[in-house]
Amino acid sequence: MKQNVVSTNVFMLLLFLNISLLNGQSPPGKPEIAKCRSPEKETFTCWWKPGTDGGLPTNYTLTYHREGEKLIYECPDYETGGPNSCYFSKKYTSIWTIYIITISATNKMGSSSSKPLYVDVAYIVEPDPPMNLTLEVKQPEDRNDYLLIKWLPPTVVDTRSGWLSLQYEIRLKPENAADWETHFAGQQTQFKIRSLYPGQKYLVQVHCKPDHGYWSKWSQEGSVQIPIDFTTKDTTVWIFVAILSAVICLIVVWAVALKGYSMMICIFPPVPGPKIKGFDTHLLEKGKSEELLSALGCQDFPPTSDCEDLLVEFLDVDDSEVQQLMPAHSKEYPGQGMKPTHLDNDNDSGRGSCDSPSLWSEKCEESQANPLTFHPEIIEKSENPETNIIHTWDPQSISVEGTIPYFHRDGSKSSTWPFSQPGWHNLRSSYHDITDVCKLAGGTADAPATLLDEADKDALESSNIIETGGEEKAAEQRKVGSFHPKTEQDTEWLLPQKKTPFISTKPFDYVEIHKVNKDGVLSLLPKQKENSDQTEKPEAPETSKEYAKVSRVMDHNVLVLVQDPRVQQVASFEESAKETSPSPQQNRAEKDQASFIATQSNCRLQLGGLEYLDPACFMHSSH
């Protein structure tokens, strides 16, 4: 029957539509069902939002059907729920059943319907707020005072039979406070609050929610005045705590007084000052650089494995090729190495003297950092470490001088070497140089290095350690003689000259500068390696083979070489700036002679954008 009513309505609407004239009126806009709620899971109400009414009186009709049923029904009660509502009484409510509800708006001009809403009453329960909120201050004798809050579930909800189970939440705040303090109370209908301010007036509210449903509105506020004598804690406990802590303090003070300093040491151990192994500050103060250097130089030589601050590996000195230049070197070193001021300069550019061309002749294998072992001779003369070095190098064909690999720093003179103490410069930097050269050879893609013209090796030998911006450099350069590129302050050189193998066991590859042509192109020779270990093909020194690529030229004509054959780097020369330049420099030593030691990437330090190698790393890696 209901169905008939509905169809009749629709028919009438269509009739009106066809008959009436359009006079600025329109059919109603689409209504929308706002929400449906059930207060106790036994009845429910739906409310809708009307659309535009089109300027005409509009009727709203709610129709529904249930899942699995075909019959369509109309709302049984438009009144009880208020305007724009439909109330489903118990008779019309089934739980765990989906209702499909639609609302239609109708006026003379037409009608429109909402989208259907799917409702299962089990999930739309929103109860009324709890009732009968009572607040009571309890002050038992043997316990702390507390506030007891009690309430009752909303009347219509049947929790007694277990049909609906509710959870509660209370909130309270001092009368003039802004924020509420909320507490979850579970399913119980009472709650105890302990920590309250005496003399304050509190406001309390409670609300509830079914297991899966909506929170009710907050109940009416209840207020309670907390008495002045409301004790929040047991004061006797606190008195006891105070006395106990006082006693403990006294004991501590007494113990400190007795033990005094030793205890302080125990508790606060003194922080050790920085110490440089072998570095005697007194010597430094006195200004006796010789002693200082000797103290530094020959303490611990060769450096043992736990001398971590001795950056480099130990060089294996090969006796077979002793070469040169002692005297020349010795001249230089004192001049170069002994400047305490260098310590201050942050522009220590790897002065090192790999004066042995044998350095270059050694094959540097990648990422191998063999410990360099020093021969005893080196240790002997501790007076002049530099000289010693020179001496020892030479007989053992280690000419540190010749090789001065160091890193060019653009403008900012950051120290290439981790250690820039005076006196150690020579020694250490030589190690640096050796290893660094090797590194350069091996794989330090970014390590700038400059190579010197072999032709000037003799002169160069004498100028090992060059500091950027130092006069020595100029001196060095002069000694070098005609040298391309320009010998300016920042020019740094490597002096790879001798063919004598420098390090017997070290798989370094070195290059030596064969010549510099007029275009400023350096042609580099792979060094012959005479080490039996090496498997590289020996090269005739005359054969000019260019193998290193110059990655760029820094200021003042410093060439930055990139050598690792495995690393593809494009060379560019500043002066020549010739495209052809790089190509001749192509690294032909995919294989060998010219391969530099590839540094472990983790041995690289980045300073100011340039890469440096941390020799200490090699020590570690080599051990």
**Comparison of 63 and 430: residue with beta carbon closer to another protein:** 63
Site string for another protein, 138-167 (x = CB under 8 A): --------------------xxxxxx-x--
List binders of another protein among 257-286 (CB under 8 A).
none
**Comparison of 165 and 245: residue with beta carbon closer to another protein:** 165
Give the Å distances, CA to CA, from 341 to 31, 337, 383, 415. 90, 10, 20, 14
Angle between helices 424-442 and 289-297 (to 10 degrees): 50
- Tell me the closest approach of the beta carbon of residue 216 to another protein, in angstroms: 18
What is the Cα gyration radius of the chain?
47
Cα angle for residues 243, 249, 254 (degrees, 5° grid): 130
The strand pairing partners of 554, in sequence order, are 558
Per DSSP bridges, beta strands 131-138 and 146-152 are: antiparallel
Q: Which two tokens stand for residue 602?
A: 């983790």
**Comparison of 167 and 586: residue with beta carbon closer to another protein:** 167
Q: Which two tokens stand for residue 266?
A: 């125990």
474 binds another protein (CB under 8 A): no
**Comparison of 98 and 307: residue with beta carbon closer to another protein:** 98
Report the largest interatomic distance among the alpha carbons of the chain, rounded to a whole angstrom. 126
- Tell me the closest approach of the beta carbon of residue 116 to another protein, in angstroms: 7
Choose the binding region for another protein from 112-120, 402-410, 480-488, 548-556 (rule: CB under 8 A): 112-120
Site string for another protein, 212-241 (x = CB under 8 A): x-----------------------------
Residues 50, 55, 76, 116: which binds another protein (CB under 8 A)?
116
User: How is residue 462 annotated by DSSP?
Assistant: H
Q: Give, for 511, the enclosing helix (H) or strand (E).
A: strand 511-516
71 binds another protein (CB under 8 A): no
184 binds another protein (CB under 8 A): no
**Comparison of 94 and 622: residue with beta carbon closer to another protein:** 94
List binders of another protein among 551-590 (CB under 8 A).
none
Buried b (16+ CB within 10 A) or exposed e, 479-508: bbeebbbebebbbbbbbbbbbbbbbbbbbb
**Comparison of 98 and 283: residue with beta carbon closer to another protein:** 98
**Comparison of 97 and 232: residue with beta carbon closer to another protein:** 97
Cα angle for residues 197, 198, 204 (degrees, 5° grid): 60
Cα(585)–Cα(583) distance, rounded to whole angstroms?
5
Nearest to 230 by CA among 171, 172, 143, 150: 143
Q: Which two tokens stand for residue 94?
A: 């089934």
Choose the binding region for another protein from 5-13, 93-101, 215-223, 243-251 (rule: CB under 8 A): 93-101
Choose the binding region for another protein from 78-86, 88-96, 235-243, 368-376 (rule: CB under 8 A): 88-96
Site string for another protein, 26-65 (x = CB under 8 A): ---------------xx-----------------------
Where on the chain is the footprint of another protein (CB under 8 A)?
41-42, 67-68, 90, 93-98, 100, 116, 118, 120, 122-123, 158-163, 165, 187-188, 211-212
